[in-house]
Amino acid sequence: MTKGATAKGQVTIPRAVRDMLGIVPGSKVDFHRAPDGSVVLTRADRNRPASRFEKLRGHAGKGLDTDAIMALTRGET
């Protein structure tokens, strides 16, 4: 997708990119030059949005304690 720059050098960040990076009005962004010469846009005012896997990370609730797990592996239940 190609975007043209305004007379002030401004460009519109496509919605898909804004959504992916979590950019909302007032967000700060950084531009970095990659080793291959390309320019990378990142959100500067907070860490990168959590991936779909990071969103799933956490505690699933009260689980079995060690004694219960050991009893299950020994067939004591």
Check residue 15 and give its pLDDT.
92
Question: Is-above-0.75 flag for pTM?
Answer: no
Give the pLDDT means over successive 10-residue stretches in the chain (77 positions).
86 90 88 93 74 70 82 83
Please give the backbone phi and psi of residue 46, each rounded to the nearest 5 degrees, phi first: -170, 170
Domain ranges of the chain: 15-74
Yes or no: say if 43 and 29 are a contact pair by the CB < 8 Å rule: yes
pLDDT per residue as tens digits for the range 19-39: 888 888 888 899 999 999 999
